[in-house]
Amino acid sequence: MAASFLLASGSPRRRELLGQLGLTFDVQAAELDEAVQPGEAPRRYVERLAREKAAAVRQRRPGAVVLAADTSVVVDDVILGKPGSEATAGAAMLRALSGRTHQVMTGVAVAGEAVEAVVVTSDVVFRPLTDAEIAWYVATGEGADKAGGYALQGRAAAFISAIVGSSTSVIGLPLAESVELLRRAGVRLPWEQA
């Protein structure tokens, strides 16, 4: 079966989420400068990046429908990036989240004839973490390439006492909103196949 759209992301989590719905797509990651612009609010940032990623891939593949997303973890209106292999950065992020509620914002954009985008915000509640838990988690390396330094779908699930909003958005792609944007762009969904 031919691909029905392009996913402008190299994220294996986004591929898995879309794949579990039976959607057919090809992957073509967008390579962009993801720096936050001076004074840019977190919500505006994730929407801008999702739009820019979708438009960049669509420009390379005219006529294709392109889905793109960007996810940020936000605490006290500050975007926490990805800690990378820097253990102290990962530990600092987890300490900032420990015992608190933070927001995960995911901007999703679909470029077809036009570019449509939405931002989905979910509240994530971390239980208080001990120094030993933080050191253990950072040592696993699981959060090194994740926004905010943790992965809901992995070991960090043990730290999360509640999610208010979309769990798939926290993982990196709000499926309900993504499916609706794809449908409006003309992508036939598996349950619409003849």
Give the predicted TM-score (pTM) of the model: 0.92
pLDDT along the chain (194 residues), means of 10: 81 94 92 92 97 95 94 95 89 97 98 95 98 96 93 95 96 96 92 74
16: which residues sit within 8 A by CB, 6+ positions away? none
d(CA 163, CA 48) in angstroms, rounded, equals 25
Catalytic residues: 70
H helix or E strand, kind and range, residue 45: helix 42-60
Lookup: tokens for 179: 């499916």
33-65, pLDDT tens digit by residue?
A: 899 999 999 999 999 999 999 999 999 998 999
Q: Which residue(s) pair with 101 in the sheet?
A: 125
Record: fold of 5-192: Maf protein (3.90.950)
Q: What are the distances in angstroms from CA 183 to CA 4, 42, 80, 175, 180?
A: 11, 27, 32, 12, 5
